[in-house]
Structure 1
Amino acid sequence: MNLIYIHGLDSDSNSTKGLLLEQYCQQYYPEISVFRPDLNKSPVQVFAQLTDLVAESGNVSETVLIGSSLGGYFATLISNHTGCPALLLNPSTQPHITLQRFSNNTILEATTDNIKSSDQVLHTTTGGWKITCADLQWFAEHQLQSVHYPTKVAVLIKEGDELLDPSLSKVFYQQQDTAVTLQAGGDHRFSDFSEQLPMTINILQKLVGVKI
């Protein structure tokens, strides 16, 4: 089995959850390979990189995406595109709306010489992704409308998520007939992820339909 961990907005390939997942698999499931790509780049590049990673795995049915926050959004897109299973942690479902906060932080006078261009940098994440107007437009053009393979997708949502509205993710994925698990309390970062790793592996096992 191959696991591709897709980090969130202000993170990178060395994200806490990604490292915990890899270390856990190395200790208890050495037959599982964990990939932790750095995705601090434009969404069109992220989509292409993840699609290539899935293709290179050689077995789509046994390659699982694990996406956190914005990574959950990308995991859903890639699952729709490739048919591979996906586990989502506090997934973002409306980045075309939530990321507009960066555009609002950039105050420009509407003059012919000072209008936001597509390559204008609105915000730089801690991982180094320079978010542009073109990126926001890409998200607007690639909104999540459906889940093409609902039986291959599972969602874990913390009701205590302080960054994203958990009800939005819950409603969207439940309407798509995916398996949604709501957990009381918690936070956006899934700070108790280390304690949930045995359950996480069990979910992955069910998604791929094989015993590991």
Structure 2
Amino acid sequence: MIIFIHGFGSDGFGGKATLLRQYCAQHNIAFIAPSISTIPDLAISTLEELIQQWQRVDDVKLIGSSLGGFYAMYLADKYNLPVVLINPSIAPVFTLGKKIGEGINFHDFSGYEWTAEHVQSLEKYQCSFSGQRCLLLVQTGDDVLDYKLAVEKLPDAQHVIEQGGNHGFEGFERYLSRITKFLIL
């Protein structure tokens, strides 16, 4: 089972989730991309339930993008799972501290509130994950996060560093086969 964890202000029907869902369906790979809460503790609780409810926890594989990458690092470290990280957030307490207030979901335009308490709750999910069993995909043109932080944080990961691009990871569809092969092998 592959679990895709979306980023901040997104949901399980974003561009990368949709591409992965279609690819996995075509290749008979179990896949889910849940729409998780913007509240960090609820998001982690939901993801932990999904992992623990699968027949064998060690059959679970993770993919995380942006804040979902931060959550995926925490879960990969906790459950010793393989993970693919796409332009992951390494310091969300800092970056999302700037987003306090009302927000709008990128895909369904629903509203949410992001509070200082939500930002503080992210601190408990910081971990010492160094990237073992990890494929890191970053683009230097990420206009939201500094890709160098992820490369430095994850020295043991397999690194794919593309020049240019953006935070959404331009040309993501080129990596679908590599991602699933990495997770399934």
Normalised TM-score (structure 2): 0.90
**Deviating runs (4+, > 3 A) in structure 1?**
none
**In the aligned structure 1, how far is the partner of 2:32 from the partner of 2:21?**
8
Which residue, 157, 166, 170 being the options, matches 2:151?
A: 170
Over the aligned positions, Cα root-mean-square deviation in angstroms equals 1.6
Calculate percent identity across the aligned residue pairs: 30
2:130 equivalent to 1:130: no
SS class of match (1:55): helix
Residues 135-174 of structure 1 aligned to structure 2 (within 5 Å): 135-144=118-127, 146-147=128-129, 150-174=131-155
Q: Which runs of 5+ in 2 are unaligned?
A: none
From the CA coordinates, give the structure whose radius of gyration is larger: 1
Aligned AA (1:96)? V
2:85 equivalent to 1:88: yes
Distance change in 2, residues 1:55/1:194 (3 Å): same
**In the aligned structure 1, how far is the partner of 2:80 from the partner of 2:104?**
30
Note the alpha carbon deviations across 1:165-206, whole angstroms, 9 max, x for none. Answer: 1111111111xx22222122211101311122122222223x
Normalised TM-score (structure 1): 0.80
Q: CA deviation at 1:58?
A: 1.8
Instruction: Indicate if the aligned counterparts of 1:40 and 1:128 stay in contact, CA closer than 8 A.
Output: no
**In the aligned structure 1, how far is the partner of 2:84 from the partner of 2:39?**
22
Residues 96-135 of structure 1 aligned to structure 2 (within 5 Å): 96-103=93-100, 122-126=101-105, 128-135=111-118
Q: CA deviation at 1:83?
A: 1.6
SS class of match (2:102): strand
**In the aligned structure 1, how far is the partner of 2:153 from the partner of 2:83?**
15
